[in-house]
Structure 1
Amino acid sequence: MIAYALRSETPADTPAIRALITKAFAVAEHSSGTEAAIVDALRARDELTLSLLAEQDGRVIGHVAFSPVAIGDGAAGWYGLGPVAVAPDCQGAGIGAALIEAGLARLRQAGAGGCVVLGDPGYYARFGFANEAELRYEGAPAEYFMALTLDGSRPQGAVAYSVAFEATETARD
């Protein structure tokens, strides 16, 4: 078992988070190669609602981002989960799951309506995410786009992520 602490990011963590995300997604088959740029763009746009990291002996070994999404019916308080990154030598130890669970708990405490994610249904179902026919994300296979209501609401319509998700280059500090 790997010992680590979870905490919110600070401005001093930006370079380590960028390096972690780049390394974690370097060999991921589903990677666009822009994940670090997306997080930087969310931060620059002040849309990185929640940015948590896992740290071991001063080393950032995991990170998760949550940012606001827009829903067609105008529902407020919904967020997108991702990207999630764990250092390659620490994967499989539950760090990503711990980050996701901590982030969802903080969203609940803040009164969020819910959260959406684009990812592997086999992985994200363990957190309560499920395919919701009323919510859709254009251009993605429906079975990979899932939602988790945090307040019982059931919004409807197309979901739009921040334009930061179109980022292609990483902004520098």
Structure 2
Amino acid sequence: MDIQIRATSDSDRLAITDLLNAAFGPDGAEIAALVSDLLDDPSARPLLSLAATRDACVIGYILFTHTQIAGSEPSLASAILAPLAVHPDHQGRGIGGRLIEAGLKRLKDAGVDLVFVLGHPGYYPRYGFDPAGERGFEAPHPIPGEHAAAWMVRTLRPGVIGTVSGQVVCADTLNDPRHWSE
């Protein structure tokens, strides 16, 4: 299968919305609205928005937006992955993993030190994510104890974990408690 990973443009917005609706079912409209708001939110910048395409059709999507660690050095660069989506007709073929890997590589090349995600604890560790709470990073809003393993971090620069800790501050759009409950 010939899949291309590329940066998105404004002309992809409708295709991204359609993909999110297909991938997330009843929650798709809410997630599509969140993505649209994040793409327009100056506090989310710098951001990285990537699409997986096949025959010019968007079949996968990933968004990374700017975060900060409260009280950390301004030179520490971090981001959060939210969301990752693959069209149901193309799931189980490694497209999500390719999007994650491409995004992490681009972020590392851009000087980003840490990437956070609130996601499935059985999936993201395959890509180097570890429990963030155990590493001293608090989520923007409390995560219920039974879901603590879903709050994860990936270091892109050796030696960062253990030298910094604190609460993650995300873009204004994402800083809503309803986005942090399971």
TM-score range, shorter chain: 0.7 to 0.9
Q: Tell me the distance in 1 between the aligned counterparts of 2:62 and 2:154.
A: 17
Give the ranges of 4+ consecutive aligned residues of structure 1 lying more than 6 Å apart after TM superposition: none
What is residue 73 of structure 1 aligned with on the other side?
A: 71
Letter in 1 for 2:137: L
- 8 Å contact kept, 2:21–2:29: yes
Bigger drift between 59-68 and 42-51 goes to 42-51
Name whichever structure is richer in helix by fraction: 2
1:41 aligns with 2:33: no
1:135 aligns with 2:137: yes
What is residue 171 of structure 1 aligned with on the other side?
A: none
- 8 Å contact kept, 1:55–1:62: yes
Unaligned runs of 5+ in 1: 169-173
1:145–1:33 distance in 2 versus 1, CA, 3 Å: farther
What is residue 106 of structure 1 aligned with on the other side?
A: 106
What is residue 54 of structure 2 aligned with on the other side?
A: 56
Question: Which TM-score applies when normalising by structure 1?
Answer: 0.87
Q: How much does 1:34 deviate?
A: 2.0
Identity of aligned residues (%): 36
Higher-RCO chain (CA-CA 8 Å, sequence separation at least 6) = 1
What is residue 157 of structure 2 aligned with on the other side?
A: 151
What is residue 82 of structure 2 aligned with on the other side?
A: 82
Q: How much does 1:68 deviate?
A: 0.8
1:83–1:7 distance in 2 versus 1, CA, 3 Å: same
Q: Tell me the distance in 2 between the aligned counterparts of 1:68 and 1:110.
A: 12
- 8 Å contact kept, 1:136–1:142: no
What is residue 20 of structure 2 aligned with on the other side?
A: 21
